[in-house]
């Protein structure tokens, strides 16, 4: 028997803390931009829905997912933020390049979480096909941009309750 997969697309807004005073950075990969733009749009909408002011959402673009950790580190150093969401899309090709980029991106974001005082969220699709990416950026699997936004808010709240 398979278990239904949990998806934050159906989160209940009132279960989240008020976010009106938070400042959130979003670093977005330009590679596969039709996917990452969709993820960004929905992440931003979810943050606004939680009360974050438009001027408290800082968006920066980087060339690809590999550059997301560096972009996030620069953003953290340059701007007072409560959290950062890294949005990217890596799709399997014919070589092992996918593995190296996905691993390095995840490792870089994890290192930022351990070394910085703000949560840095891994909102990077790692898909076998473009169809899988499309399904997860507004298709039949919902839009995973919402998950990055909600995870960021929950991690900020975790820090503020300690």
Active site residue 97: yes
Residue tagged active-site, from 34, 61, 74, 97: 97
**Distance, CA of 50 to CA of 156 (rounded, Å):** 13
**Distance, CA of 17 to CA of 70 (rounded, Å):** 29
**Distance, CA of 28 to CA of 159 (rounded, Å):** 24
Residues forming the active site: 97
């Amino acid at each position: 028997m398979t278990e239904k997969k949990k998806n934050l697309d159906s989160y209940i807004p009132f279960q989240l803390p008020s976010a009106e005073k938070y400042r959130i950075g979003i670093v977005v990969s330009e590679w596969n931009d039709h996917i990452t733009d969709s993820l960004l749009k929905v992440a931003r909408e979810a943050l606004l829905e939680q009360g974050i002011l438009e001027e408290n959402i800082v968006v920066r673009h980087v060339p690809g997912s590999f550059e997301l950790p560096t972009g996030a580190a620069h953003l953290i150093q340059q701007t007072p933020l409560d959290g950062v969401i890294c949005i990217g899309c890596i799709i399997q090709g014919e070589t092992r390049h996918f593995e190296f980029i996905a691993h390095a991106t995840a490792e870089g974001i994890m290192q930022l979480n351990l070394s910085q005082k703000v949560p840095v969220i891994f909102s990077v699709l790692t898909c076998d096909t473009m169809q899988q990416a499309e399904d997860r950026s507004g298709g039949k699997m919902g839009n995973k941009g919402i998950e990055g936004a909600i995870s960021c808010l929950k991690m900020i709240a975790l820090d503020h309750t300690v």
